Amino acid sequence: MTPLTPAEVAAVVDGALHRPDGADGAEPAALTGPAATDSRAVVPGGLFVARRGEHADGHDHVVAAFAAGAALALVARPVTGPDGALAGPQVVVDDVQVAFEALAHATVERLRADGAVVVGLTGSAGKTTTKDLLAALLGALGPTTATPMSYNGEVGLPLTVLAATEETRFLVLEMGARGAGHIAALCRVARPDVAVVLNVGQAHVGEFGSVDAVERAKGELPEAVGADGTVVLDVDDERVARMAARTSAQVLPVRAQGSGAGALVWATDVDLDPAGRATFRLHSRLGIPAGAQPRSADVALRLVGEHNVANAVAAAAVALRLGLPLERTAEVLSASGPASRYRMEVTERADGVTVVNDAYNANPESVRAALKALVAMRRGPDGRERRTWAVLGEMLELGAGATAEHDLVGRLAVRLNVSHLVAVGEGARAVHSGAQHEGSWGDEAVHVPDADAALALLRAELRPGDVVLVKSSNGAGLRHLGDALVADSPPAGPSGPAAREGDAPC
Between the CA of residue 154 and those of 42, 166, 188, 338, what are the distances in Å?
19, 23, 11, 25
Residue 126 annotated as part of some ligand binding site: yes
Between the CA of residue 270 and those of 237, 300, 403, 484, what are the distances in Å?
18, 10, 33, 33
Q: 113 Cβ partners below 8 Å, 6+ apart?
A: none
Beta strands in 50-186 (DSSP E): 72-75, 90-92, 117-122, 144-146, 170-174
Q: 382 Cβ partners below 8 Å, 6+ apart?
A: none
Residue 129 annotated as part of some ligand binding site: yes
Task: List the helix and strand counts (H, then E) for the chain.
Answer: 17, 21
* Residues 46 and 71 sit within 8 Å (Cβ to Cβ): yes
Consecutive H or E run containing 304:
strand 295-304
Residue 471 annotated as part of some ligand binding site: no
Residue 210 annotated as part of some ligand binding site: no
Residue 124 annotated as part of some ligand binding site: yes
* Cα–Cα nearest to 324, from 138, 151, 164, 155: 138
Using CB atoms within 10 A of its CB, is residue 162 exposed (0-12), middle (13-18) or buried (19+)?
A: buried
SS (H, E, C) 126-146: CHHHHHHHHHHHHHCCCCEEE
Binding site, annotated residues for ATP? 123-129
Binding site, annotated residues? 123-129
